[in-house]
Amino acid sequence: MNEQFLQLYDYNVWANDRVLEHLQSLPDDVFFQEVNVGFKSIAEVVGHLAAADEVWFARIKEEVSPALVSKSFASIEAARHYMSQTQTQNREYLASVHDMGKHVTYNKHQNSISEIVQQVVNHGTYHRGNITTILRHLGHKGILTDYIAFLWARA
């Protein structure tokens, strides 16, 4: 059962990395360019994703959750470096979990680790869609991050 959730998390990491790599191929100002489509910029979306993942993984580890405050990144490179480090640590932690069905309690809620992993992945998918919307709004193309494309890339 752990392998299924590790694969889902691996997909999330792969998709985040593809988006950040794609952003690095675009003009530098795209990351910070202000828009009016829910988030102020792509940098704000990425900062939100990084902060939310910290909150969810603190819950999985049964640690005190940090406040959900969007991370600020000076550049796409800084965001990519930060995400890479934290996602590697999170992946290592998930690989050490013996029971994905274990329930953790936080803020008067209780969920299994596997349910929280699914939340992290779904949340990432949603916000990568926000980034694609912003890119299109700014006249740029997005990048394919579908789960099936991840599976094809691994084959």
Q: What is the pLDDT of residues 27-65, one digit of tens each?
A: 999 999 999 888 999 999 999 999 999 999 999 999 999
**pLDDT at position 2 over 80:** yes
Q: In this predicted model, what pLDDT tens digit does every residue of 107-117 receive, in sequence order?
A: 999 999 999 99
Ligand-binding annotation for 109, yes or no, is no
Helix (H, G, I), strand (E, B) or coil at 62: coil
- The pLDDT mean for the chain works out to 97
| Domain containing residue 20: CATH number | 1.20.120.450
Residue partners of 130: CB distance under 8 A and separation at least 6: 37, 38, 39, 45
User: How many domains does the structure of the chain reveal?
Assistant: 1
| 112 in Cβ contact with 49 (< 8 Å) | no
Full-model pTM: 0.96
**pLDDT at position 16 over 70:** yes
Length of the chain: 155
**pLDDT at position 129 over 80:** yes
Domain assignment of residue 9, given as a range: 2-154
What is the share, in percent, of the chain residues with pLDDT greater than 70?
Answer: 99
Q: Over 6-23, what HEC string results? A: HHHHHHHHHHHHHHHHHH
Q: How far apart are alpha carbons 50 and 71 in whole angstroms?
A: 7
| 48 in Cβ contact with 41 (< 8 Å) | no
User: Which pLDDT belongs to residue 37?
Assistant: 86
Ligand-binding annotation for 103, yes or no, is no
Task: Supply 127's token pair.
Answer: 């916000």
Nearest to 83 by CA among 50, 125, 123, 121: 50
Cα–Cα distances (Å) from 92 to 5, 6, 19, 102, in that order, read 13, 10, 22, 17
Q: How far apart are alpha carbons 112 and 44 in whole angstroms?
A: 29
